[in-house]
Structure 1
Amino acid sequence: MKRRNDKNLVRRSRLKEFSKQRRFLFYSPLKFNTSYKSYNPSNKRYEFQAPCNFSFLNNAEETISFFNEMIQLINHNGKRQFEIFIDIKNVEKLTIDALMYLLSIINNMKNVFKRRISIRGNIPLDSNINRLFKESGFFNYVKSTNIIPIFKNSDTIQIISGKNTDTRIARQISDFVSDKLGMTRSQCSFIYVMMIELMSNTYKHAYANNAVNRISNKWYCFCKYNNIEQIVSFTFMDVGAGIPTTVRKKFAEKLDFLNLKAENRYVISALEGQFRTSTSLAYRGKGLPRIHETCQSRKIQNMRLITNKADVRDDGDVIKGRELSKPLCGTLYYCELRKENIG
């Protein structure tokens, strides 16, 4: 009986492995024919062509499609080893948010998946975009075959990454804004509070129910000062579950199986102060309403929030939202700070 049971166990294991392999044999690269140019079966290499306008802020639909197909390829290849090559040499316009999201995909995969999937790429040919590439601090997180000098610009805080709430980084960004705009620390204290809220939301909600378990909970942040316009632009990014997924929904909203209600409505209602925290704790859910209050006081302007299918803008008077055709896996927060508004 023992020999028979062992034999049956081996047979079942082989059948299970064979059925798994058969599923992947019928996997066709044609599913992802929008972004990648070619697939080489000899070295298992997929090549992806980045859009010419590589930006979530200026070209959300095309940029989201590019990244979604890459994520779909990673999630549906099981235990197979393969390589992804990202071609961005012909990019004509680039904003830091797309670069941060690319970096988050490369670095947030856990080690077991990094050993199976190698991600390579090139750099833009355009001199201005190439300079942004180097000044951003992108090469602090990836390896390069060539020696690429990293330009340090005193008007930027290079891409910073963290896993949970980091008061040191929040203070660093607050001090950067106060130094560049010539303000006192107390006048820029709201930036410190905003950073703490964004970090804590990422840590407590964005990666709380990570079913795939392939992504580690890291967020990314970048700041740049424009000396001519005297504006500090601020970008914060994570690749966890978006705000519409983590907010508390009412009973009727949970029954919306056909997704008739637009996701941007959930984000707008959370910004307006409706009790949307999934923890149901009275002291939680204050972050987004506080950010909206900061917009109303004109301390921050051009606020943009892209998460899942929601694309929301807040100018302080009116919150406008639109529904994207494809969801962004994560949350992008962008805003600008001007000296006279803070003063």
Structure 2
Amino acid sequence: MGSKMRGKNLFKEDFDISGNQKYFSKVKYRTKEEIVREGSLKHYTVISAPKNFSFLKNPEETIIFINSLEKCYLNKEQVYVDIEKIDFLDYSAVTVLVSVMFSFKARNIKFNGNLPKNLELAKMLIDSEFFKFLGKTQTERMEYTIGKENQIFTRANKEVNSELGLIVMQEATMTIWNQKRTCKGLQRTLLELMQNTNNHASVNQKGEKHWWLSVNHDKKNRKVSFIFVDYGVGIFESLKNKPEDNKWFGWFEKLKDKLLIGGNNEILKMLLEGEMHMSVTGKHFRGKGLPGINQVLEREQISNLSIISNNVTADVKNNKYLKLKNQFSGTFVAWELNESNVNSKWIA
């Protein structure tokens, strides 16, 4: 996906931008071609993002881009991330890109890149604090910042932060209802996803057992959007590698008679609806994991749940489960909280 080139200027060195719009508009933009002509990209492999850079709206092309980065990571190749010509960007792409580039950072593999020519998209990337992650060490954590409307942050290892859901809920409900409200479904969703990161992680795999959460407030439309990324092995790869003492061991043999086609899209639907748990274990699920999150959606405690894992994309609300041509090595979950969702009086 690109020629081999070499570079000495990292993102933050090429574009030392404060995020201030007045200052930003005066920055002299250097194109990839200009940097190439300077001879500063030797020994870097250039990987270009799709013009529609969105994990939600354009999963196939975005997964190809992510997989190209992953291939460089596994081969310990230095990369130049070219997002100069994108004409659409959202937090789904930014969050996944952060998780991938952090893997390069954790393994001390150098990387480089540019900003979108579109100033609004460039400012969005800067405001997401993407560049702060590039300056962090592997052991440092990006904590949740109270009062910041749009942010990405992470926790590592086997840490399930039960207090996080409370803080996030307080701020989200203030955006939506102008007062603190209790949204148990939001808290439950966050806890289940954090726990699932531990269940799906493999030692020394890409995400190094990090989970990533993006929280984005839309005060105009009174909604808050969430994106959770577990950049590890994904749901189905995790299921394939269960040990004999695990309740999911041999799951496919126990399930195959109930499958019409046997694709992962069909399996994900059965998993979310709790049917897979009953078929494999002989017991009803206890409201845990992805079936528990689907239950939260059915109770209208959250809205617009979407899941991408391995070779499946699911628009759960609209009952659309589709196979992808390309495979994402991780689990991506997006959902919203808005005025239509069930809530109750805040109890301090």
> TM-score band, normalised by the shorter chain?
0.7 to 0.9
1:200 aligned residue? 195
Gaps of 5+ in 1: 1-35, 145-151
1:64 aligned residue? 63
1:80-106 C-alpha deviation (Å, 9 max, x unpaired): x64210011211101112111111112
1:100-120 C-alpha deviation (Å, 9 max, x unpaired): 111111213574x32xx2111
Separation in structure 1 between the aligned mates of residue 292 and residue 160 of structure 2, nearest angstrom? 17
Letter in 2 for 1:37: G
1:271 aligned residue? 272
Separation in structure 2 between the aligned mates of residue 69 and residue 233 of structure 1, nearest angstrom? 28
Q: Is the 8 A contact 1:109 1:215 kept in 2?
A: no
1:22-57 C-alpha deviation (Å, 9 max, x unpaired): xxxxxxxxxxxxxx3322389421111111111111
Structure 2 length as normaliser, TM-score? Answer: 0.73
1:183-233 C-alpha deviation (Å, 9 max, x unpaired): 776631221111111000002x221x34x6454110111111212221111
Separation in structure 2 between the aligned mates of residue 155 and residue 182 of structure 1, nearest angstrom? 17
1:286-318 C-alpha deviation (Å, 9 max, x unpaired): 222222222222232221100101111122xx5
Letter in 2 for 1:319: N
Separation in structure 2 between the aligned mates of residue 130 and residue 213 of structure 1, nearest angstrom? 30
2:91 corresponds to 1:96: yes
Structure 1 length as normaliser, TM-score? Answer: 0.74
* Aligned-residue identity in percent: 25
Cα gap change, 1:86 to 1:110, in 2 (>3 Å) = closer
The secondary structure found in structure 2 opposite 1:341 is coil
Letter in 2 for 1:286: K
1:50 aligned residue? 49
* CA RMSD, Structure 1 to Structure 2 (Å): 3.0
Aligned counterparts, 1:1-343, within 5 A: 36-40=1-5, 43-75=42-74, 77=75, 82-109=77-104, 111=106, 113-114=107-108, 117-143=109-135, 154=147, 156-163=149-156, 164-182=159-177, 187-203=182-198, 205-207=199-201, 209-210=202-203, 213=205, 215-247=207-239, 248=248, 249-251=251-253, 261-276=262-277, 286-315=288-317, 319-343=319-343
Separation in structure 2 between the aligned mates of residue 329 and residue 39 of structure 1, nearest angstrom? 25
1:29 aligned residue? none
* CA displacement at 1:284 relative to structure 2: 6.3
The secondary structure found in structure 1 opposite 2:308 is strand
Separation in structure 2 between the aligned mates of residue 271 and residue 283 of structure 1, nearest angstrom? 10
Aligned length: 285
Cα gap change, 1:287 to 1:65, in 2 (>3 Å) = same
* CA displacement at 1:136 relative to structure 2: 1.4
